[in-house]
Amino acid sequence: MWFTPDWTLPEGVAAASTDRLGGQSQPPFDGFNLGAHVGDEAEAVRLNREALRLGLQLPKDPAWLEQVHGTRVVTLPCDESLPRADASYANTPNQVCTIMTADCLPVLLCHRDGSQVAAAHAGWRGLCDGVLEQTVARFSGEASDLLAWIGPAISAEAFEVGPEVREQFVSQDAQAVSAFVARGDKYLANLPQLAFQRLSALGLTQITLSHLCTYSDSDKFFSYRRDGRCGRMASLIWIR
């Protein structure tokens, strides 16, 4: 139902990422769907979220967001019940930064001293518009002191986009051209590579990629591009 990201975190910080295994949801949301906005039965989502909190021994409920493929970052705790944002940041214990995905990039960030954490949702629009830059800017200190993990997402082999998407990225950073491979009049876009480039340009040097593809592993992961109507996974990070 969840796994621990394969990266080294400072003492006092915990992180997790979920898959679709187990849970109470019925097809096409089977089984561990955590999204309350996708058409799944509300009770199934509630039970799945309860299992997540109990299983991970979370200090409180995850801080769910209304994700809109934007660049807004909220600092936790937040007075809004369901913030309209695509990233959250915390510098106090027991605030569970959480984002949901089903092909888009989940990116978790942590200061090397364990004093600050964040979670960002980066689809191609948010990534291009600067959600990672906005999230990193929320941290105090140097970007070189941050650790990043890029979680399960659609791989380049399955992510076909139009030339306008490539143009938007390349117009901002010439090195982005290496993340696109032509296929007919379209391009295959490497989202994890684009995120890696963006984070590196900001000064991060410790970036871990999961190399997990949501599209190709239908047994383990939800994929919106593959299935259309489907559940959502979550990636979480918090200071104990």
Q: Confidence band (pLDDT; 50, 70, 90) for 179?
A: very high
31: number of Cβ within 10 Å: 17
d(CA 139, CA 206): 16
Q: What is the mean pLDDT of the chain?
A: 97
Q: Rounded mean pLDDT of 32-37?
A: 97
82 touches 97 (CB < 8 A): no
pTM: 0.96
In tens, the pLDDT along 120-143 reads: 999 999 999 999 999 999 999 999
Residue 85 C-alpha from the chain's centroid: 13
The pLDDT of residue 184: 95
44 touches 25 (CB < 8 A): yes
% residues pLDDT > 90 (the chain): 100
Going by C-alpha positions, the residue among 171, 239, 232, 240 that lies closest to residue 40 is 232
In tens, the pLDDT along 72-81 reads: 999 999 999 9
Q: Which two tokens stand for residue 29?
A: 């949301």
Q: Rounded mean pLDDT of 149-172?
A: 97
Going by C-alpha positions, the residue among 81, 73, 109, 117 that lies closest to residue 240 is 117
**2-154+209-239 falls under which CATH superfamily?**
CNF1/YfiH-like putative cysteine hydrolases (3.60.140.10)
Side-chain-facing half-sphere of 234: CA atoms under 13 Å:
26
How do the domains of the chain map onto residue ranges?
2-154+209-239
The pLDDT of residue 119: 98
28: number of Cβ within 10 Å: 15
Residues, the chain, total?
240
149 touches 108 (CB < 8 A): yes
Q: Confidence band (pLDDT; 50, 70, 90) for 205?
A: very high
208 touches 148 (CB < 8 A): yes
Q: Which residues pair with 21 in a beta bridge?
A: none
The pLDDT of residue 169: 97
The pLDDT of residue 219: 96
